[in-house]
Amino acid sequence: MLQAGYIAENKEAVITALRKKRFKELHLVDAVVEIDSLRRKLKHHLDTTLAESNQIAREVGELFKEGKKAEAEQLKTRAAELKETSKNLNDELTQAELQLHEHLVLLPNPPHASVPEGGSPEQNEKVAEGGSIPTLFPEAVPHWDLMERYRLADLALGVKITGAGFPVYTARGAKLQRALIQFFLDEALKAGYEEVIPPYLVNEETAFGTGQLPDKEAQMYEMKMDKYYLIPTAEVPVTNIFRDVILDEKELPVKRAAYSPCFRREAGSYGKDVRGLNRVHQFDKVEIVQIQHPEKSYQTLEEMAKHVQGLLTQLELPWRMMKLCGGDMSFASALTYDMEVYSAAQEKWLEVSSVSNFETFQSNRMKLRFRGKDNKTQLAHTLNGSALALPRIVAALLENHQTPEGIRIPKVLQPYTGFEIIN
């Protein structure tokens, strides 16, 4: 959510930026400016009225003390008038504030200047790559066949217990999950992140803070009776730890890492790329979150991207980093890098991580600020990234490391799995 004052001062720049994101409802920008100016007028008027009321109340008190009843009564009439006026003004102001808020939450975050033009994933820009694409032996198969052959995960069993998209990991498949989680967490700790284990259900305010609400209800599982939502990512509870918090500048950057299961309804995505572990409703992920000074946040974004690249390299997977074009970015992000790994058996790139800088978009919603040297508070920047999400990593590991003898486990994982090959 942008600040109304910022929009009023940078209207043209905001419109241009939003256009890059392929945002259509540009009239909202004008509406925001207009409503905000009305709000300020009302506020000014109300403040003046209340100032007079307060003045009168003080005088009435004095008069009563001095025993001048008649004069006091006279002032009371004036006070009653003012009360009526201020009540009306207050109603109008509340109305304007509400309307302003309703408009503001519909505006996406304007993308960073370096974001490429474009409306679809083809226009994303490759900015880095690593590893090499393996040449598989002729009998190589996709991960869903491998999972079955080596009893690593059972999708049909998940359907029986819950529904499609809820895999049951079994035997060495389950251990591999645990090994990856542990490895990712250990790497995050080495990189200076502090670990947290957050709740997996969140309330409405929390879902609003990171931008899931309003509007994206359909992507989350909801507990109707208590109005809680199952988290789609640990980003939501972890970032909201700092909702309504004023940090000291010296505490920045705040670095947190959390493992959590993630729950996503993925409404409207059926039929395409959903085979095996490519798209599931419940999956495990280690998330890294940073809260950073606005002047350093882009530097931090690069650092986070490097961290993720390091993980992929250690897992011996071929990867590339894409800078998302305006039209492919999420609502809340100002700049997003997607990490993709090549799935040799499916012959396509799978998105395994998304690292984003949200600038003040989330912090404004959450009122997450820091106090600088000048003792003034200002909004902090929030960033987060998957480091990493498991299912597609597992898919890529199985496919890329398969040999006629079995699936080779990368060296860094062996201490965690306790086995070197799945056969």
Partner RNA sequence: GGAGAGAUGCCAGAGUGGUUAAUGGAGCGGUUUGCUAAACCGUCAACGCAGAAAUGCGUUGCGAGGGUUCGAAUCCCUCUCUCUCCGCCA
Candidates 11, 83, 149, 175; binder of RNA (CB under 7 A) is: 83
Shortest Å distance, C-beta 194 to RNA = 20
Check binding of 57 to RNA (CB under 7 A): yes
CA distances, 172 to each of 80, 169, 273, 407, 421 (Å): 77, 8, 25, 11, 10
Candidates 26, 28, 31, 56; binder of RNA (CB under 7 A) is: 56
Candidates 10, 53, 314, 414; binder of RNA (CB under 7 A) is: 53
Beta strand 194-196 pairing with 254-263: parallel
C-beta closer to RNA: residue 22 or 293: 293
C-beta closer to RNA: residue 5 or 119: 5
C-beta closer to RNA: residue 47 or 215: 47
Check binding of 76 to RNA (CB under 7 A): yes
Shortest Å distance, C-beta 322 to RNA = 36
Query: Stretches 34-42, 186-194, 256-264, 332-340: which one binds RNA (CB under 7 A)?
Result: 34-42
Candidates 47, 84, 251, 273; binder of RNA (CB under 7 A) is: 47
C-beta closer to RNA: residue 5 or 418: 5
Query: Stretches 48-56, 277-285, 309-317, 322-330: which one binds RNA (CB under 7 A)?
Result: 48-56
Query: Stretches 35-43, 182-190, 212-220, 289-297: which one binds RNA (CB under 7 A)?
Result: 35-43
Lateral strand order in the sheet of 246-248 = 246-248, 369-371, 377-379
Query: Stretches 46-54, 129-137, 167-175, 275-283: which one binds RNA (CB under 7 A)?
Result: 46-54
Chain centroid to CA 112: 16
Minimal CA–CA distance to 331: which of 202, 203, 205, 214? 214
Shortest Å distance, C-beta 253 to RNA = 18
Contact predicate 114/53, CB 8 Å: no
Candidates 25, 30, 48, 102; binder of RNA (CB under 7 A) is: 48
Residue ranges in 230-249 that form contacts with RNA under rule CB under 7 A: 246, 248
Give the sign of the dihedral formed by CA 4, CA 20, CA 300, CA 121: positive
Check binding of 201 to RNA (CB under 7 A): no
Name residue 229's beta-bridge partners: 202, 222
Query: Stretches 54-62, 104-112, 175-183, 413-421: which one binds RNA (CB under 7 A)?
Result: 54-62
Candidates 22, 43, 149, 265; binder of RNA (CB under 7 A) is: 43
Check binding of 100 to RNA (CB under 7 A): no
Degrees (nearest 5) of the Cα angle 277, 280, 283? Answer: 90
C-beta closer to RNA: residue 36 or 187: 36
Candidates 13, 25, 34, 64; binder of RNA (CB under 7 A) is: 64
C-beta closer to RNA: residue 31 or 136: 31
Query: Stretches 56-64, 133-141, 229-237, 351-359: which one binds RNA (CB under 7 A)?
Result: 56-64
Shortest Å distance, C-beta 50 to RNA = 4
Over the window 339 to 378, marking each residue x when it contacts RNA by CB under 7 A and - when it does not, the resulting string is ------------------------------x-x-x-x-x-
Which residues are near RNA by CB under 7 A?
Answer: 5, 36, 39-41, 43-44, 46-48, 50-51, 53-58, 60-61, 64, 76, 79-80, 83, 246, 248, 369, 371, 373, 375, 377
